[in-house]
Amino acid sequence: MEVVRNIQLKLDVSEGDHKVLNETFEQFRQATKHVADHGCDHNSSEITDTKNTLHNETYSDVCDELSLQSSLVQSARNLAATALGNRKDRIIKDGERASKPTFRGSMACTTEPSHTTTTTYPLPH
């Protein structure tokens, strides 16, 4: 079962900064995916979901590949670790099959007041 929670925020972003904001969202999604993919590289019963291990094994690579601030890299790692932990719980404790976590976020910016800018990130629950 997928749970989607929406938070509506009004950001005062200049037209010139829309591209930067969209790129930041995309890089955050890529960072989260990279960490989640790394945590699932092993056999399904050997999911790496501890933040310290994921940090030690992925932080440098993510920083080298993307131009995110360190706090965003750490937030992406935390989100991936939570999703991996939920997957591990479903497989090991509940005996269920669980697919690898995916992060499908997007953002569209507009300067027209009649349009709504929406970003949706499925979060682990």
pLDDT, one tens digit per residue, over 23-71 is 888 999 999 999 999 998 766 568 889 999 999 999 999 999 999 999 9
Residue 39 is assigned to a structural domain of this protein:
yes
Please count the structural domains in the chain.
Answer: 1
Domain containing residue 77: 20-93
81 sits in the region (left: phi over 0; alpha: psi -120 to 50; else beta) called alpha
User: Residue 78: inside a domain, yes or no?
Assistant: yes
Number of H helices, E strands in the chain: 3, 0
Question: How much is the pTM?
Answer: 0.73
| Strands annotated E in the chain | none
Residue 70 lies in a domain: yes
Domain assignment present for residue 113? The answer is no
More confident residue, 118 or 92: 92
